[in-house]
Amino acid sequence: MLLYDDAIAPTPRRVRMFLAEKGVEIPRRMVTIGKGEHLSPDYRARVPSGRIPALELDDGTIICESVAICRYIEELHPEPNLMGRDAKERAIIEMWQRRMEFELLLPLAGVFRHTHPKMAALECQVPAYAEAQKPQAEKRLEQLDRDLAVTNHVAGDRFTIADITAFTTLSFFPRLCGIVIDGKLPNIQRWLADIGTRSSASA
């Protein structure tokens, strides 16, 4: 297998953190999004969507989308379990994973992609879209802080892929979007500090 990776973007970091939690190592080839390498003819010949990360299997199959890659790894290496041990737990973790992706990551990514100067070469920036997304992200952060007041982790009492998605999102986007996680969000602060002590956080 070969993992096409980017050192900075948060979505590839999700896969690296997931692999680190599993103790699984996969050879990597760096493809720098900031340099537009994901749009090169050579990369698009291998990965037509141009997505990063992408996992190339030994038979040539390409799996894109970070959660799909994590699902594949979970099937190969079920422990430590990060996506649910039974039908109920899998559904609950998937629910929270999708909430973190759709309600937190996407609004924050929208602000970043449509306002940050370094994204101008890669996006048709629409500042009005970012302006609409920023309050949505802030509102969702307030809700997440309330949620984390009653649980140790995003999807309940144990660490899962939902924590990985939220952690990699909040470690990257807020500071680039003019959003501060401070004492008004004490439970998120506590949770970020806790997740930050895991060895996988440095992946």
CATH number at residue 66: 3.40.30.10
Number of domains in the chain: 2
* Residue 118 clears pLDDT 90, i.e. is over it: no
pLDDT for residue 185:
98
| CATH classification of the domain holding 104 | 1.20.1050.10
Range of the domain at 132: 87-202
| Residue 116 pLDDT level (bands cut at 50, 70, 90) | confident
Judgement on whether residues 125 and 49 belong to the same structural domain of the protein: no
Q: What does the pLDDT look like over 34-72, one tens digit per residue?
A: 899 999 999 999 999 999 999 999 999 999 999 999 999
Distinct helix (H) and strand (E) counts, the chain: 9, 4
Mean pLDDT of 78-105: 97
Tell me the average pLDDT across 121-136: 90
Distances in Å between the Cα of 91 and the Cα atoms of 4, 59, 95, 163 are 29, 31, 6, 15
Is residue 102 one of the residues assigned to a domain? yes
Q: Inform me whether the pLDDT recorded for 122 exceeds 90.
A: no
Sequence letter at residue 107: P
> Mean pLDDT over residues 171-196, rounded?
96
What percent helix, strand, coil does the chain show, rounded to 5?
Answer: 60, 5, 35
